[in-house]
Amino acid sequence: MNATAKTDPWIRCSKPNPAARLRLFCLPYAGGGASIFKNWGRTLPDRIEVCAIQLPGREDRISETPFRQVEDLLPVLMERLHPYLDRDVAFFGHSMGAFLSYELARALTEEHRAPVQLIVSGQRAPHLPLSRPESYHLSDTDFCERLRSLNGTPASVLAEPELLSMILPLLRSDFEMSETYRRAPQTRLNCPIKVLGGDRDEEVDRAGLEAWQETTSAPVKIEMFPGDHFFLQSQSDALLKTVERTLRPHLH
């Protein structure tokens, strides 16, 4: 299992641990890759094996075509996850990754392999409509302005035409996947959900975070952090402590 994780292009475990009690799958925001979570395995307790999902079109998979629709990506991810379900699992996802984490948790619940915990970050509940116009189809100039407003893409990248030409197709694909995602009435989760938000996030308001309660029969707890939509970066140490506290009850 862990030998597979070292070579699996989809699942990256920076610190494989055959004795781990829990496997935490981490899914990135739009444009992000597995490297976002490279330090998590060394920071979280040894009983947690961190497995970051590496989607096509980014980092060492940059030559591959990225997915543009959640319904196309989900069955592929499910097939990849099945060999890793020999112990309890949990999911963490930020922004786009929150929707993907939710869909994986829902699919596993339908297979009677529900995760013990779902942690969603920087994202409204999946049944709520998009709170702003779609942006993935905008001109390059307007799309870059959209990226600047989110504060997640370095200004140096946005100012470099060659770099932009490399990353814009991936970002457009990821934005399309996030912005066109619509949850149909489906299985209600039975696992607890921890919802994380930034207190200055103009993308996701408190009501959007609280609405996650409608997706599960288990408790939902909300925790706010200082910062905008990318508090995941600016509050990384505090966020990891919250992840550890959230998962600790599932390690016994």
User: What are 29's two structure tokens?
Assistant: 């925001």
Cα–Cα distance measured from residue 44 to residue 70, given in angstroms and rounded to the nearest whole number = 29
**Residues listed for the chain:** 252
Q: Of the candidates 217, 247, 187, which has an alpha carbon nearest to the alpha carbon of residue 21? A: 247
Residue 121 bears catalytic tag = no
CB distance 238 to 121 below 8 Å: no
CB distance 15 to 49 below 8 Å: yes
Q: Which of 14, 95, 135, 178 is catalytic?
A: 95
User: What are 126's two structure tokens?
Assistant: 């999946």
- Catalytic residue annotation: 95
